[in-house]
């Protein structure tokens, strides 16, 4: 099908974006890569009257290597993240996950900010942002910026932390503690489909090899992207052997509330989540070095 008619604006500065958002209010919808929005428009499930296009806005794309973090502009294409040597070296979890988004055509166009602002509960980037304790930077009308932790950006009640008129401009991914290991697993019906379930994990070891640091986020674990703090608590301070990992992963079943659909019912997703969390934890534990 074809999208319903709309007006298209291609501002070149953030100030112009905010002017357009102020002028058109709820009629305006931001478009970045459009890989989720345009299919919805073609199906007429979304009928924005005004598209405010971020693609020509200067300064929104790019990956910056910082002392303790890597910052990606909201308009950075997923493909650029996939190819970035900085991301591969410093944020291997992000590198592993971004290559699992959609197909090459989607990643060439899809953006970091678009995926985070959409906040699909089975998407890769929201889960990675949670597992890495990312901070999102939002610019409001008038240009004032505020920062919000990924965990606060995805409230349990649904939606995102974006207020009317705000634009997500960049995201800062702190580099995990030295020696930390990562794991990422997801399962879909077909190659590169939306995941039915998945897990993004970062584990750090203390001087005796015990678990000193744990971040576990799940894909498809409920109506919003989320971490599973019960699993993290079960691991922290204990050994990272196969038994401890299996026991902690079993706890996922009681902590998530998967939503069933035609692809897979909730019970199946719950069982798969246990397996994928266990695999991701095992990979992360294997890759983690004891602190020196």
Partner 1 sequence: MESVELMVNGVRREGRVEPRRTLADFLREELGLTGTHVGCEQGACGACTVLLDGEPVYACLLFAVQARGHEITTVEGLAAPGELDPVQDAFRRCHALQCGFCTPGMLLAAHGLLADDPDPDEADIRGALAGNICRCTGYQSIVAAVRLAAAERRRPAAPEGAAR
Binding mask 31-60 for partner 1 (x = CB under 8 A): ---xx--xx-xxx-------x-x-x-----
**CB burial class (10 A; 0-12, 13-18, 19+) of residue 8?**
exposed
Of the candidate spans 7-15, 146-154, 201-209, 218-226, the one that interacts with partner 1 by CB under 8 A turns out to be 7-15
Site membership for partner 1, residue 253 (CB under 8 A): no
Residue with tokens 């998967």, as numbered in its chain: 258
Q: Locate all alpha helices (DSSP H) within 2-136, ordered by sequence.
A: 14-24, 37-42, 78-83, 85-90, 92-98, 104-109, 112-118, 124-131
Residue 22: CB minimum distance to partner 1, A: 21
Helices 266-287 and 242-250 sit at what angle, rounded to 10 degrees? 150
- Least CB distance from residue 104 to partner 1, whole Å? 6
Site string for partner 1, 91-120 (x = CB under 8 A): -----------xxxxx-xx-----------
Total chain residues near partner 1 (CB under 8 A): 29
Q: Is 268 in the site for partner 1 (CB under 8 A)?
A: no
Q: How far is the CB of 130 from partner 1 (least distance, A)?
A: 26
Q: Does 88 bind partner 1 (CB under 8 A)?
A: no
Question: What's the chain's length in residues?
Answer: 292
Q: Counting beta carbons within 10 angstroms of the beta carbon of residue 158, is it exposed (0 to 12), middle (13 to 18) or buried (19 or more)?
A: exposed
Nearer to partner 1, 2 or 292 (CB): 2
On whether the CB atoms of residues 162 and 171 are closer than 8 A, the answer is no
Half-sphere exposure of 251 (CA within 13 A, CB side): 16
Q: What is the rounded CA–CA span in Å between residue 140 and residue 18?
A: 7
CB 276, min distance to partner 1, A: 20
Residue span 153-192 as binding mask against partner 1, x where in contact by CB under 8 A, dash where not: --------------------------------------xx
Which residues lie near partner 1 (CB under 8 A)? 1-8, 10, 34-35, 38-39, 41-43, 51, 53, 55, 79, 102-106, 108-109, 191-192
């Amino acid at each position: 099908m074809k999208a319903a008619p709309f007006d298209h604006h291609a501002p070149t500065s953030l100030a112009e974006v905010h002017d357009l958002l102020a002028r058109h209010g709820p009629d305006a919808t931001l478009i970045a890569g459009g890989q989720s929005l345009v299919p919805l428009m073609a199906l007429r499930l979304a009928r924005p009257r005004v598209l405010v296009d971020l693609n020509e806005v200067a300064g929104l794309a790019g990956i910056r290597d910082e002392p303790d973090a890597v910052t990606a502009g909201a308009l950075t294409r997923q493909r650029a993240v996939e190819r970035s040597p900085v991301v591969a070296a410093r944020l291997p979890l992000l590198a592993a996950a971004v290559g699992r988004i959609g197909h090459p055509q989607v990643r060439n166009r899809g953006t970091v900010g678009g995926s985070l602002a959409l906040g699909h509960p089975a998407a890769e980037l929201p889960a990675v942002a949670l597992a890495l304790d990312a901070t999102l930077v939002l610019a409001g009308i008038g240009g004032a910026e505020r920062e919000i932790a990924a965990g606060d950006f995805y409230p349990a009640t649904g939606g995102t932390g974006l207020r009317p008129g705000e634009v997500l401009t960049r995201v800062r991914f702190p580099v995990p503690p030295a020696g930390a290991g990562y794991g990422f697993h997801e399962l879909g019906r077909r190659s590169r489909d939306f995941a039915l379930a998945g897990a993004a994990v970062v584990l750090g070891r203390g001087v005796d090899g015990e678990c000193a640091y744990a971040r576990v986020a799940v894909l498809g674990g409920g109506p919003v992207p989320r971490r599973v703090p019960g699993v993290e608590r079960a691991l922290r301070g204990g050994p990272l052997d196969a038994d401890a990992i299996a026991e902690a992963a079993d706890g996922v079943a009681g902590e998530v509330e998967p939503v069933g659909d035609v692809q897979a019912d909730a019970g199946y997703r719950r069982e798969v989540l246990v397996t994928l969390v266990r695999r991701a934890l095992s990979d992360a534990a294997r890759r983690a070095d004891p602190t020196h």
